Amino acid sequence: MKKDSACFVRVERSLSDLLGPAYTGASGAAHAFLTGEDVSAGTAATVEKVDFYPEALRGRLSGMLDKVGTQVIETTLRNTAAGATAEKFRTATKTGSAPLSALGYYRVGEDGRLYLMTKSEHYHAPLGHAFPGYTLIEKARALGIPNATHNNTRGFITRRLEEELVRTANGLGREDAAGLSDLLARKDDLYLVNRVLNLETGSLAVEAALKMILARFHRMQPDMQPPPYEGRIPVILVMGNDDGGLQANYHGTTVLTQMLRGMWPGLHAAMEEVGMWKVVPIRPNSKEDIDAAFAAYDSGAYKIAGFFHEIVMMNYGGRLLTPEFLTHAHQLCQASDVVTVVDEIQSCMWAPQLFMFREYGLTPSCVAIGKGFPGGEYPASRILFSPALDVMPQFGALVTNGQEELAALAYLVTMEWAQANAASTAALGQRFETALRAVAADFPDVITAVDGWRHMTTMRFADLNRATAFTRALNARGLDISAQTYKADCPPVVLTKLPLTADAAMIDFVVHAMREGLEKNKCE
């Protein structure tokens, strides 16, 4: 592999490269039997290499930057097909920018304008749209490899992905087969992730972790062995607001995960009243809060059961939790047999080691991943978890998600490119963060702080009106940037999350557009 002028490493892979010739050969033979076709046709497709992100495509993308926000095609779709969604979604919908077609970090909206993807299409598309590496999925589909499977089959690609996730999460090299084998065999360490469950959404991934925690206090089935903390009240620590409220954390849309952030207050209060559980917020980066929580709730009737956190709190203005705070918190948890859950649904893939917890040197009990890894190809999240938590019955934490093999292949494609380009994307992400800090320094009356990390850098505004005026100006120019107005008690923060495929030209364009938007905002 060699670096090109755009600083990205060229990655060329075939199905056989990713999955091994034994598997692709067997798939080709099976397909030939089922279809009656000559086996050689399928075999040839498995060894054909695909350039994951061709230089010609990158040149095409950077060459269209001056068209962003302009009318590039004529359409007659405005106000057609009203749909039938929920009222809250209907009022928030912007059909004009809904994609007619998309490529790389662009989409052409139903209004015929060209839009720039500056929030990675809500974090699902770290490699942009129509990433060429995903054509390997179509090659797999042409072999008859199905995506509609069942949890109790767990095909070869799914199993391979599980091993790759465990290897990566633990920092093992690909050549270390013995190390991986030893790692997979370990059974008792609470602060080691070597198990994987396949789920559709991030909400279900976090819910699975929550079930595993509660199973240490409550029996899921009457015939199960008494859990270690039966009879004590489980206390869940979550990241709270600056004022100590619950609303800052976001870990999903199931009833239990919603209660972690203060929703369903009546139900929540009833559960606490009868001693089913208690949820305690920790202010961002407050060692004092977490020390106080352990002093108050890790003895007697109570037992701290789990600590849930993101590293970049994208639903609270992109607040970055510091290594000092998280190291301290995890040390407290490990000293008291507390399950640590790192929610990387939004941050996974954007770190050079693919997991931000590795950048911080953390060893969690559970890691929730999704969104980024399957690259928007499938709704396919995962929970990586400790073998010490592997006590659930078959349907205790699982779902019959019905999609595994091709979804797992999407993960492998994404990981292959991201790992090869870790150094490049780290440098480009730092370029973006440095540029936004320079912008903030030039507009101190408007921007009061810069937070987040690299591609996920955010800017806090002096007030919400200025933030929304700024985003409206950028939206009018075709940039997908938003102020966090939909969330209670959230600071007036403008959110970005550039795709990993954003090159220097795209980054510089976004920063220049931001400067222009701020100048306009200042003049008005």
| CA distance linking residue 365 with residue 189, whole number of Å | 9
- Are 165 and 311 part of one and the same domain? yes
Task: Note the pLDDT tens digit of each residue in 37-86.
Answer: 888 877 888 999 999 999 999 999 999 999 999 999 999 887 778 888 88
Burial class (CB in 10 A: 0-12, 13-18, 19+), 356: buried
Which has the higher per-residue pLDDT, 15 or 523? 15
What CATH number is attached to the domain comprising 429? Answer: 3.90.1150.10
| CA distance linking residue 6 with residue 521, whole number of Å | 33
pLDDT (0 to 100) of residue 398: 61
Domain end, chosen from 420, 438, 469, is at: 420
Rg of the chain over Cα atoms, rounded to whole angstroms, equals 24
Degrees (nearest 5) of the Cα angle 94, 100, 106? 85
Q: Over 50: is that where the pLDDT of 4 sits?
A: no
Give residues with Cβ within 8 angstroms of 383, minimum separation 6. Answer: 196, 197, 199, 205, 206, 208, 209, 366, 367, 368, 369, 397
Domain end, chosen from 144, 165, 189, is at: 144
List the 339-343 sheet strands across, edge first.
Answer: 195-199, 381-385, 366-369, 339-343, 302-309, 233-239, 278-282
Q: 């060429």: which residue's tokens? A: 132
What phi and psi, each to the nearest 5 degrees, are found at residue 368?
Answer: -95, 130
What phi and psi, each to the nearest 5 degrees, are found at residue 201?
Answer: -125, 165
Q: Over 70: is that where the pLDDT of 488 sits?
A: no
Task: Note the pLDDT tens digit of each residue in 102-140.
Answer: 999 999 999 999 999 998 767 789 999 999 999 999 999
Residue range 456-476: mean pLDDT, rounded: 92
Q: Does residue 485 form part of some domain?
A: yes
| CA distance linking residue 97 with residue 478, whole number of Å | 9
Which residue in 151, 48, 201 sits closest to 403, CA to CA? Answer: 151
- Are 98 and 225 part of one and the same domain? no
Reduced to 3 states (helix: H, G, I; strand: E, B; else coil), residue 432 is helix
- Are 140 and 213 part of one and the same domain? no
Q: Does residue 319 form part of some domain?
A: yes
| DSSP letters for 393-419 | -TTTS-------HHHHHHHHHHHHHHH
Residue range 370-380: mean pLDDT, rounded: 89
| CA distance linking residue 205 with residue 254, whole number of Å | 10
pLDDT (0 to 100) of residue 40: 85
Q: Does residue 254 form part of some domain?
A: yes
| Structure tokens, 122 | 């809500």
Which residue in 183, 166, 126 sits closest to 374, CA to CA? Answer: 126
| CA distance linking residue 334 with residue 120, whole number of Å | 35
Q: Sign of dihedral through CA atoms 383, 389, 394, 397?
A: negative
- Are 28 and 54 part of one and the same domain? yes
pLDDT (0 to 100) of residue 2: 40
- Are 189 and 318 part of one and the same domain? yes
Lowest mean pLDDT among 143-152, 197-206, 466-475: 143-152
Looking at the structure of the chain, the number of domains it has is 3
Burial class (CB in 10 A: 0-12, 13-18, 19+), 78: exposed
- Are 394 and 452 part of one and the same domain? no
Domain end, chosen from 363, 391, 420, is at: 420
What CATH number is attached to the domain comprising 161? Answer: 3.40.640.10
The pTM for the full model equals 0.94
- Are 248 and 116 part of one and the same domain? no
Give residues with Cβ within 8 angstroms of 223, minimum separation 6. Answer: none
Q: Does residue 462 form part of some domain?
A: yes
Share of the chain above pLDDT 70, in %: 94
Q: Does residue 349 form part of some domain?
A: yes
Say how many C-beta atoms besides its own lie within 10 A of residue 300's C-beta: 9
- Are 346 and 414 part of one and the same domain? yes
CB 55 within 8 A of CB 465: no
| CA distance linking residue 254 with residue 261, whole number of Å | 11
pLDDT (0 to 100) of residue 179: 96
| CA distance linking residue 229 with residue 205, whole number of Å | 23
Q: Does residue 314 form part of some domain?
A: yes
* DSSP code at position 156: H
Mean pLDDT of the chain: 91
Domain coverage including residue 473 = 423-523
| CA distance linking residue 196 with residue 380, whole number of Å | 12
* DSSP code at position 483: E
Task: Note the pLDDT tens digit of each residue in 151-209.
Answer: 677 899 999 999 999 999 999 999 999 999 999 999 999 999 999 998 888 899 999 99
- Are 70 and 123 part of one and the same domain? yes
Q: Over 60: is that where the pLDDT of 6 sits?
A: no
- Are 127 and 252 part of one and the same domain? no
SS3 content of the chain, % helix, strand, coil (to 5): 40, 15, 45
Q: Does residue 4 form part of some domain?
A: no
| Structure tokens, 197 | 């469950």
CB 436 within 8 A of CB 453: no
| DSSP letters for 312-340 | EEGGGTTEEPPHHHHHHHHHHHHHTT-EE
- Are 183 and 223 part of one and the same domain? yes
Task: Note the pLDDT tens digit of each residue in 310-332.
Answer: 999 988 989 999 999 999 999 99
- Are 333 and 319 part of one and the same domain? yes
Q: Does residue 3 form part of some domain?
A: no
